[in-house]
Amino acid sequence: MQLEQVFERQKAGVAERRLRFGLPERRAALARLEAVIRARQGEICDAIAQDLGRPAGESLLVEVLPLMQEIGQARRQLRRWMRPRRVWGGLAGLGTRARLVPQAKGVALIVAPWNYPVSLALGPLVSALAAGCAAVVKPSELAPASAAMVSRIVAEAFDPDLVAVVEGDRDVATRLLALPFDHIFFTGSPEVGKVVMAAAARTLASVTLELGGKSPCIIGPGADLAAAARWVAFGKRINAGQTCIAPDHLLVHEAVAAPFLAALQAEYARGDSATRIITPRHAGRLRALLAEAEAMGARRITGGPGEGCAMPAVILEGMPEGSALTREEIFGPILPVVTWAGEAALLERLGAADVPLSLYLFERDRARIDRICRAVAAGAVGVNLTLLQFSHAGLPFGGKGRSGQGQAHGAWGFAAFSHLMPVLENRFSPARLLMPPLGAKGRRLLDLLLKWG
């Protein structure tokens, strides 16, 4: 079937789905997805290993577990999310009954990146199904084994009239983006995010943009240095730094720079990530960034350019301002270190940068933590940890400005694929008294409303 046909068939079922794709059917759909993922978790890990060389244990931790949690939460909480909410409308709403009804937006397009190629394709699908949408999923062409796996999982769990996977590159994505989807959920780079938003402007689709950027990681003078080193090493090196919320660079207080870097080097020496850089082209870009920074005076204190798609994790000291590493999202295992002295200058630096997807702060001084949290803008702030804010079931996930818009996960993911439709019913509304010509009773009512609102 041509992708346009897949879309047309899903679109033709929208009205029918509104009536028949209720709580039990959505729960059953989520249960099917869960069962297929559970049965195929070994194959999922194998496919990811083919694309990225990532060990199976790590893939279970960072892809299968978050998916299982997302599905479990949706199945447990869906009844509450779907329930229409009664709302009170004040004096002017007297004699009416108002409720907010979450209604499926319709047919959704989910475009996914290659770095967590299974969970970032299927995670948003959980929210789309919970909301009652049909969906077309386009995985990344740069992780072909994982994309084929996503296709197999979806084909096993769903009829293509409900969920279909369309594999392909940017040309396929362009064809999909030309279709009048009701919602587009895009995860990828800010540059392609702009292309997606421009396409959505032509069809007036709503968008969720989960983008990337440079997530700073602050090591404060009061940080527990050993713990901070452990968290930074974990957050930066898992998936070889190819994580949208990985610490991009370190901002270390000068008073603790030497002992912190010693602790970090010791953590790095305990063994590196087995994950490789996704393609030789991506590895080449990272080596060019590294070479330029070194030529401008940066010093490599561990790691190296490596060969092929392998790159031993690098820590870079003495970062020259103006190098491409200080401007571009690194998205790889290179960790530049910048030192700071005064908090005012630190906040000024953060304020001048694009709003990051995440900001990390390692510090024990409560007053400083509170001050920095109030002063910064970020998709999310992680204090004395890295990455965990992604998988906390009570928190939404998403960026702001250049790091994205809209929020994903749990109830927020459900909301992204839903239209909160107001339904207002007249029972004995006195509003008819206000219809011209205005009589004495109408005048009294109007005076009352003007006084009390």
Please choose, out of 22-30, 133-141, 300-308, 314-322, the segment that lies near ligand NAD by the rule CB under 6 A.
133-141
Q: Which of 146, 187, 323, 389 binds ligand NAD (CB under 6 A)?
A: 187
Which one of residues 73, 140, 386, 407 is an interface residue with ligand NAD (CB under 6 A)? 140
Catalytic residue, candidates 34, 63, 210, 267 = 210
Of residues 177 and 264, the one with the C-beta less far from ligand NAD: 177
Does 210 interact with ligand NAD (rule: CB under 6 A)? yes
Residues 6+ apart with CB under 8 A from 361: 217, 218, 220, 369, 372, 373, 381, 382, 383, 384
- What are residue 181's phi and psi, to 5 degrees? -65, 155
Q: Report d(CA 207, CA 196) in Å as an integer.
A: 8
Nearer to ligand NAD, 244 or 289 (CB): 244
Q: How far is Cα 165 from Cα 160, in angstroms, rounded to an integer?
A: 8
| Catalytic residue, candidates 70, 244, 309, 363 | 244
Instruction: Report which DSSP code applies to 355.
Output: P
Residues contacting residue 345 through CB under 8 Å, at least 6 positions apart = none
Of 66, 113, 305, 356, the one binding ligand NAD (CB under 6 A) is 113
- For position 188 contacting ligand NAD by CB under 6 A, the verdict is yes
Tokens 């199945």 appear where?
75
Decide: is 115 part of the binding site for ligand NAD (CB under 6 A): yes
Is 210 noted as a catalytic residue in this protein? Answer: yes
Residues 229-268 touching ligand NAD, rule: CB under 6 A, are 244
* Cβ atoms of residues 135 and 128 within 8 Å: yes
> Residue with the closest Cβ to ligand NAD?
212
Q: Residue 133 catalytic? A: no
Minimum separation from the CB atom of position 26 to ligand NAD (A)? 24
Strands 299-302 and 249-253: unpaired
Q: Name which position in 101, 145, 155, 192 contacts ligand NAD (CB under 6 A).
A: 192
124 sits near ligand NAD (criterion: CB under 6 A)? no
Query: In angstroms, rounded to a whole number, what is the distance separating the alpha carbons of residues 133 and 37?
Result: 20
- The token pair at 324 is 């491409």
| Strands annotated E in 43-155 | 85-87, 96-104, 107-111, 134-138
What amino acid occupies position 77?
Q
Cβ proximity of 37 and 153 under 8 Å: yes
Question: 307 to 366, contacts with ligand NAD by CB under 6 A?
Answer: 329, 331, 357
Residue 415 as a binder of ligand NAD (CB under 6 A): the answer is: no
Min separation Cβ 248 and ligand NAD, Å: 9
Q: Spell out, one character per residue from 369 to 408, where the chain touches ligand NAD: x when CB under 6 A holds, - when not.
A: ------------------------------x----x----
Q: What are the catalytic residues?
A: 210, 244
